């Protein structure tokens, strides 16, 4: 594969592909498995958690969109961190993204192996994992257009499944479909211990997990560097994507906690499977399992794309080898894609063999997976803080800007406060404390590496 020295990525992503990439990066297998971890903390009021986190998400994405409109660059939020705050901020943001998606990619590949066991119980996980990694690696190496098209169809499968589930759920609630035509109504929202079953503490604890479930939407900022007609594409993509994600998440959770008593969800398994089965779709388990396979592959696919572009951007800043900036004749950073793909494969193999070699090592991987939550929040903090500085420095260029964040800087402060309080409560929650600590350790180590190496401070 020929490589070219010029460092311009191809702008081949359409608006529909960018929207589906963001959807694919955000709507993961957790939603389809029932979101029990959030519902158990606070009951039906988890709907307000998703709404509040959605408001923070909206502010973050509008702030990102405002900056992208003037500077649609690859690795955007890492670049903004370096340019508007400090080089170490951009460095930590890029590596946080790489770490997050490497970990997510490993977990998604492992998940695919488990889901495929539904049809082929004797198929070794490492074989299915290897096939998945090689397939997605090739798709990412062919061209960004091939990646975008693959992700479009992955995400479309998830979206159509959610829409179908929402329609069926509303029919069960209002018409009694699958319940002998006796409408279930809305009483499950308050009749099992009230709406706020976990009090304020439970509500805040659940918020941290909900915010983590929205992580990944910022990948739309990375795709901006390879988008056709970037300015109108960015506006169209961000305007539509946030509303759709909130509809899918809040709508799905609303159907789940309305149809099923929240304190009985642990007996249901996957609410998606149960909802389809309730209305007579006997192949529900197989259908949802297929969707789970595509959802996991979508997550891994987004991970390879996002983290490879961050390695590319780090190479442009001379913070890692410039070999990561060399592009194929199709405009793909080959070494970056191969590095992330190999990293995911090695992680998958270690996950398979370590439990046989080191006692208790299975728990290590659980901790590593959960530790991606804090690095996943770093881009949101950086986007909000960079936007404050951006407003000061670009004041003259904002006069006729068509996509400004409303009520800034107060909206920035509101979102930053929400994220900061979420981090504090994650530390006090025994179930999320260790993941926060590991996340801080990772950021501390990368900060030391930056300080010791003192890389060239050239901007992108």
What pLDDT, in 10s, does the model give residues 438-458?
A: 889 999 999 999 998 865 544
CA distance linking residue 65 with residue 60, whole number of Å: 9
Cis peptide bond N-terminal to 86, omega within 30: no
Q: Which residue has the higher pLDDT, 299 or 320?
A: 320
Task: Give yes or no for residue 415 having a pLDDT over 90.
Answer: yes
pLDDT confidence bin for 192, thresholds 50/70/90:
confident
For residue 1, what pLDDT is reported? 46
Angstrom distances, CA of residue 171 to CA of 160, 190, 266: 17, 20, 23
pLDDT digits (tens, 9 = 90+) for 227-270: 777 788 888 878 877 888 888 889 989 998 998 888 887 777 67
Task: Give yes or no for residue 360 having a pLDDT over 80.
Answer: no
Q: What is the mean pLDDT of the chain?
A: 84
Task: Give yes or no for residue 385 having a pLDDT over 60.
Answer: yes
Task: Give yes or no for residue 148 having a pLDDT over 70.
Answer: yes
Q: What is the mean pLDDT of residues 157-170?
A: 89
- Do 91 and 319 contact (CB within 8 A), yes or no? yes
pLDDT confidence bin for 382, thresholds 50/70/90:
very high
Q: Spell out the domains of the chain, with CATH numbers in brackets.
A: 3-453 (1.20.1740.10)
For residue 361, what pLDDT is reported? 59
Half-sphere exposure of 399 (CA within 13 A, CB side): 2
pLDDT confidence bin for 459, thresholds 50/70/90:
very low
This prediction has a pTM of 0.87
């Amino acid at each position: 594969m020929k490589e070219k020295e010029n460092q311009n990525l191809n702008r081949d992503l359409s608006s529909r592909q960018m929207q589906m990439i963001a959807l694919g990066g955000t709507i993961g297998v957790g939603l389809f498995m029932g979101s029990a971890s959030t519902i158990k903390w606070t009951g039906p009021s988890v709907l307000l958690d998703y709404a509040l986190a959605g408001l923070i998400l909206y502010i973050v994405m509008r702030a990102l969109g405002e900056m992208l409109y003037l500077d649609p660059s690859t690795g955007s939020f890492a670049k903004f961190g370096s340019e508007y705050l400090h080089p170490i901020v951009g460095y930590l943001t890029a590596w946080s993204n790489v770490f997050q998606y490497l970990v997510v990619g490993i977990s998604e590949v492992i998940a695919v192996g488990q889901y495929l066991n539904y049809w082929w119980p004797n198929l070794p996980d490492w074989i299915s994992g290897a096939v998945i990694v090689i397939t997605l690696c090739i798709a990412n190496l062919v061209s960004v257009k091939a990646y975008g098209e693959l992700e479009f169809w992955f995400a479309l499968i998830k979206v159509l499944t959610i829409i179908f589930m929402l329609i069926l759920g509303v029919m069960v609630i209002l018409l009694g479909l699958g319940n002998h035509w006796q409408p279930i109504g809305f009483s499950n929202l308050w009749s099992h211990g009230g709406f706020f079953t976990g009090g304020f503490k439970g509500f805040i604890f659940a918020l941290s997990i909900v915010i983590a479930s929205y992580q990944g939407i910022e990948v739309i900022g990375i795709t901006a560097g390879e988008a056709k007609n970037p300015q109108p594409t960015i506006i169209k993509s961000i305007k539509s994507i946030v509303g759709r994600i909130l509809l899918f998440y809040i709508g799905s959770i609303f159907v789940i906690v309305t149809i099923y008593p929240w304190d009985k969800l642990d007996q249901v398994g996957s609410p998606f499977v149960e909802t389809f089965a309730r209305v007579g779709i006997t192949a529900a388990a197989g259908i949802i399992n297929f969707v789970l396979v595509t959802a996991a592959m979508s997550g891994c696919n987004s991970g390879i794309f996002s983290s490879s572009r961050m390695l590319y951007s780090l190479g442009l800043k001379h913070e890692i080898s410039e070999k990561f900036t060399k592009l194929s004749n199709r405009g793909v950073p080959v070494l970056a894609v191969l590095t992330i793909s190999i990293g995911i494969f090695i992680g998958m193999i270690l996950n398979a063999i370590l439990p046989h070699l080191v006692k208790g090592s299975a728990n290590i991987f659980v901790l590593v997976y959960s530790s991606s939550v804090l690095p996943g929040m770093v881009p949101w903090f950086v986007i909000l803080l960079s936007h404050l500085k951006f407003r000061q420095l670009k004041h003259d260029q904002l006069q006729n800007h068509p996509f400004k964040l409303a009520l800034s800087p107060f909206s920035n402060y509101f979102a930053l406060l929400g994220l900061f309080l979420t981090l504090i409560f994650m530390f006090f929650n025994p179930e999320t404390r260790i993941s926060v600590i590991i996340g801080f350790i990772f950021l501390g180590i990368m900060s030391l590496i930056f300080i010791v190496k003192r890389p060239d401070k050239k901007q992108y």
